[in-house]
Amino acid sequence: MDNLNALIGGFGDVLTPLNLLLALLGVIIGTAVGVLPGIGPAMTVALLLPITYGLEPTQGLILFAGIFYGGMYGGSTTSILLNTPGESASVITALEGNKMAKAGRAAQALATAAIGSFVAGSIGTVLLVFLMPQVVEYAVRLGSPEYLAIIAVAFVGVTAVLGSSRIRGVAALLIGLTFGLVGLDKTTGQQRMTFNIPELNDGIDVVVVAVGIFALGEALWVAAHLRRKAAEVIPVGQPWMSRQDWKRSWKPWLRGTAFGFPFGAIPAGGAEIPTVLSYTAERKLSKHPEEFGKGAIEGVAGPEAANNASAAGTLVPMLALGLPTNATAAIMLAAIEGWGIQPGPTLLSREPAMVWALIASLFIGNTLLLVLNLPLAPTWAKLLRIPRPYLYAGILFFASMGAYAANGQPFDLYLLLLLGIIGFAMRRFGLPVLPMIIGVILGPLAELHLRRSLQVSGGEWSGLLSSPFTWICYAIVVVVLLWPLIASVIRRARGGDDGDAGRGGAGPDGSDDDARDPLVSATTHFGRGGNPPDSTGGF
């Protein structure tokens, strides 16, 4: 019951008027920015980073917790009312959500999304409370070889996510690792990739990378292809649900949570897979399968819950191991490092008050979100009509401010433009963004643990495989890397059905082919580096 006591202590820290105000502020700003079209949760957090610079770590994290959940909720509002979603995790929500909105049931879609997010977020956070200290207890005993192995799994996990081409994922990862290399070598002080530019000696600030890739890159990409006529916004009234809607929603919420949390907690690419799994499961289990594709409420309730539960699950490796598994967590870790706090398994023992205050504020933020968003939905919907020139000019404005304020030097602005151009190119060529940002953050950590492992083993490479744990991790890496090969062998053994060849291997194979179409097109059309089926075997 230590956890509960610590959590109650955390609530005690958070429940001051100032901190509650910060939580409220975080939720409002997070939702407002997240609702803006073209701004997903990761960009929301990246753009709002500067707010936390001037705050104490605990207060900054309270604000962040609100922004985190607010940004997620805002994203789902956008995808329901505008269709074309801003980020991969909301793709599935848009599938049924937008159909519901078009059929005049926008209010119910928003309500089931909001309440489902609340349910999933709350359950996810409770699971976090009990699971995270367990993971920490185990993790403090892990040595450098084990860490290196976990990071290897994370690298492979994020590069081989659903619906993406492996070669493009690896290319993105390598670009990120290259950026992580820049600066003085931490062990020997040698300059690497600094080109004698003194500003580069300390390395490239992760904040600048995140803002450059997510905010500037996205803004430039949209600017190059700006729709002359803004997409149609579906008007919405007060969200509410009938008895029937409740009856059809509560099971999908719980099932979505069950899919989402574990996938968030393992380093394997975030919310895409669980939202797809949840959608597929709901379609199979629904008593109204004919409504799927035309606006079935289960298809919004399940994936939305999966999305939020996965976000809560992400916090387990983030807080317990210092490992980010999605972009939002990566940026939050950057913020924590910005306060001079080293994330990792010792975080909980060194900064218990901060960690528990963060978790308590997740509960509070989540509740505030529900209270606030049901009545405010029509107001948020108005934000979708913001004139696009002002919207994207605003993103450029806040991106510049955030990058400059990180270190107070104009040099970072030039770097930001370079990174923005790289982010633009990645979107143009379908390179996924997540592996790159994970590479920047985890690359230096991987090198550190590699060198430490070899130091301990006296230069013997066998030192990297020092425990069964590392064997398991590398086995996972090998299986994921060789999956296309393994899958083709299995298929041949089954009697060679070539028509379904090589969809990256990770996709859920729904057996009912006719109903699968909207899902497949949604997941492969969305520009995360989808690749035509004939070329996925390349890596």
Partner 1 sequence: MSDATTRSPQRVRDRAQLGLCAALAGLGVLILVDASRIGQATSSNDPLGPRAVPLFLGVALLLVSGLYLLDVLRGGRGEEEEGEDVDLDSRADWRTLGLLAFFFLLNAVTIDRLGWVISGSILFWGSAFALGNRHHIRGLVIGVALALVTFYGFAIGLGVNLPAGILQGIL
Among 25, 266, 405, 481, binds partner 1 (CB under 8 A): 405
3-class SS of residue 456: helix
User: Does 431 interact with partner 1 (rule: CB under 8 A)?
Assistant: yes
User: Does 485 interact with partner 1 (rule: CB under 8 A)?
Assistant: no
The one segment of 177-185, 197-205, 281-289, 322-330 that binds partner 1 by CB under 8 A = 177-185
**In terms of Cα–Cα distance, which of 385, 98, 334, 370 is closest to 210?**
334
Cβ pair 6, 128 in contact under 8 A: no
Buried b or exposed e, range 272-287, using 16+ CB within 10 angstroms = bbbbbbbbbbbbeebe
**In terms of Cα–Cα distance, which of 73, 108, 125 is closest to 298?**
108
Among 9, 25, 50, 474, binds partner 1 (CB under 8 A): 50
Q: CA-to-CA distance for 346 and 349, rounded, in angstroms?
A: 5
Cβ pair 327, 43 in contact under 8 A: no
**Minimum distance from CB of 37 to partner 1 (Å)?**
4
Q: Tokens 């270190």 — which residue?
A: 407
Tokens of 521: 């097109």
Tokens of 505: 């291997």
The one segment of 83-91, 121-129, 352-360, 464-472 that binds partner 1 by CB under 8 A = 83-91
- Amino acid type, 176: G
The one segment of 25-33, 267-275, 306-314, 423-431 that binds partner 1 by CB under 8 A = 423-431
The one segment of 16-24, 228-236, 281-289, 316-324 that binds partner 1 by CB under 8 A = 228-236
User: Does 175 interact with partner 1 (rule: CB under 8 A)?
Assistant: yes
Among 20, 24, 25, 55, binds partner 1 (CB under 8 A): 55
User: Does 18 interact with partner 1 (rule: CB under 8 A)?
Assistant: no
The one segment of 118-126, 282-290, 361-369, 419-427 that binds partner 1 by CB under 8 A = 419-427
Other C-beta atoms closer than 10 Å to the C-beta of 383 total 19
Under 8 Å CB-to-CB from 5, ≥6 apart: which residues? Answer: none
Query: Scanning residues 515 to 534, which ones bind partner 1 (CB under 8 A)?
Result: 517, 520-521, 524-534
User: Does 458 interact with partner 1 (rule: CB under 8 A)?
Assistant: yes
**In terms of Cα–Cα distance, which of 195, 341, 326 is closest to 263?**
326
Element holding 482 (H helix, E strand): none
**Minimum distance from CB of 515 to partner 1 (Å)?**
15
The one segment of 4-12, 53-61, 198-206, 284-292 that binds partner 1 by CB under 8 A = 53-61
Q: CA-to-CA distance for 519 and 499, rounded, in angstroms?
A: 17
3-class SS of residue 507: coil
Task: Give 451-484 as a DSSP string.
Answer: HHHHHHTTT-GGGGG-SHHHHHHHHHHHHHHTHH
Among 56, 137, 185, 232, binds partner 1 (CB under 8 A): 185
Query: Scanning residues 267 to 306, which ones bind partner 1 (CB under 8 A)?
Result: none
**Minimum distance from CB of 258 to partner 1 (Å)?**
30
**Minimum distance from CB of 137 to partner 1 (Å)?**
30
Among 11, 142, 178, 183, binds partner 1 (CB under 8 A): 178
Q: CA-to-CA distance for 359 and 61, rounded, in angstroms?
A: 9
**Minimum distance from CB of 281 to partner 1 (Å)?**
23
User: Does 143 interact with partner 1 (rule: CB under 8 A)?
Assistant: no
Task: Tell me, by CB under 8 A, how many residues bind partner 1.
Answer: 96
**Minimum distance from CB of 124 to partner 1 (Å)?**
27
Q: CA-to-CA distance for 216 and 395, rounded, in angstroms?
A: 7
**Minimum distance from CB of 151 to partner 1 (Å)?**
13
Cβ pair 401, 51 in contact under 8 A: no
User: Does 222 interact with partner 1 (rule: CB under 8 A)?
Assistant: yes
User: Does 86 interact with partner 1 (rule: CB under 8 A)?
Assistant: yes
Among 223, 266, 353, 376, binds partner 1 (CB under 8 A): 223
Sign of CA dihedral 405, 407, 410, 416: negative
Among 85, 133, 274, 295, binds partner 1 (CB under 8 A): 85
Under 8 Å CB-to-CB from 277, ≥6 apart: which residues? Answer: 259, 306, 508
Q: Tokens 């009990």 — which residue?
A: 130
Among 341, 417, 445, 476, binds partner 1 (CB under 8 A): 417
Among 190, 243, 290, 509, binds partner 1 (CB under 8 A): 190
Among 167, 254, 341, 353, binds partner 1 (CB under 8 A): 167
Phi-psi region of 238 (alpha: psi -120 to 50; beta: other; left: phi over 0): beta
Q: Tokens 């994290």 — which residue?
A: 61
- Cβ distance to partner 1 smaller for residue 94 or 316: 94
User: Does 82 interact with partner 1 (rule: CB under 8 A)?
Assistant: yes
**In terms of Cα–Cα distance, which of 215, 195, 204 is closest to 412?**
204
**Minimum distance from CB of 46 to partner 1 (Å)?**
15
User: Does 471 interact with partner 1 (rule: CB under 8 A)?
Assistant: no
Tokens of 180: 């992580």
What is the contact mask toward partner 1 in residues 360 to 389, using x (rule: CB under 8 A)? ---------------------------xxx
User: Does 220 interact with partner 1 (rule: CB under 8 A)?
Assistant: yes
The one segment of 273-281, 406-414, 466-474, 475-483 that binds partner 1 by CB under 8 A = 406-414
Under 8 Å CB-to-CB from 140, ≥6 apart: which residues? Answer: 345, 346, 349
Q: CA-to-CA distance for 144 and 449, rounded, in angstroms?
A: 5
- Cβ distance to partner 1 smaller for residue 230 or 266: 230
